[in-house]
Structure 1
């Protein structure tokens, strides 16, 4: 996906990285409709879910979902997420998260989206993001209609 945003460099998004808890899952349970949304866009983007898997449920919850699960250690999660973004190529990666451990990932990505849902949002993470959304489905709306993204980010 290439998006020309007035007053900003062209965005080319190839990879989408989601934090798990608080982003696409609440209390370890995948939000209804996420699997379908990821699968619907899987021909256009590479999807990754990065998590320390606090509830031990990520693989079961994402079964039959066209994404790669990246499990990271419970310590230094912010650094693990940052390094993963760098390994993918931050210039073509959109990331989404809500926790303090997502702040570096969002800052490093070409587009970092902070999300405020049931589990809250760390203020530091918000300050390191480009966009704040109220629902994970807002992210998929940006992917479906790039004009929404342009309207949010243009000068």
Structure 2
């Protein structure tokens, strides 16, 4: 787990990191270079999860050998499915990262919701439901490595 006290935002104990797949840790269904190494670097501190509708059909192959839980959700009610998933984990200890409209509810409910704006874009609903925005998913691993960066961004 990773503990960080963010003035005005509160004490956060992160036990789980939940990623959306397409547009967040993958581009056109292919895992972004560096994500596997980032997960490997921090898998002794937090549990990683990937939740996706698997639009391109590659997710199982792309995540093969990576220490993370994979959940493929149906096409219907994706936002609710993602929210239900993190509620089972415990929203108070779950950091979520996403870019799509179907990520908005989990980002809003998470202890920290991070929207990522990369080549596949960022929905306005997702943006407005997040606590902060990053320009690349690898920046999220920087927060796990140096949690004080979250203080600088989220303190009130």
TM-score bucket (shorter structure)? over 0.9
User: Deviations for 1:2-54, whole angstroms, at most 9, x for unmatched residues?
Assistant: 10111221011000000000000000000011111101110000000000111
Q: Are 1:83 and 2:77 matched, yes or no?
A: no
How far, CA to CA, are the matches of 1:64 and 1:48 in structure 2? 14
How far, CA to CA, are the matches of 1:57 and 1:8 in structure 2? 37
User: Deviations for 1:49-80, whole angstroms, at most 9, x for unmatched residues?
Assistant: 00011111001001111101011101110010
Runs of 4 or more, structure 1, over 3 Å off, are none
How far, CA to CA, are the matches of 2:153 and 2:70 in structure 1? 29
Q: Aligned-pair RMSD on alpha carbons? A: 0.6
Q: Any residues of structure 2 matched to 1:133-148 within 5 Å, and which?
A: 133-148=134-149
How far, CA to CA, are the matches of 2:30 and 2:69 in structure 1? 17
Q: Secondary structure at the match of 1:44?
A: coil
Q: Any residues of structure 2 matched to 1:125-140 within 5 Å, and which?
A: 125-140=126-141
Aligned to 2:111: 110
Q: Secondary structure at the match of 1:10?
A: strand
How far, CA to CA, are the matches of 2:34 and 2:155 in structure 1? 29
Aligned to 2:40: 39
* Residue ranges of structure 1 left out of the alignment (5+ in a row): none
Aligned length: 155
* Residue ranges of structure 2 left out of the alignment (5+ in a row): none
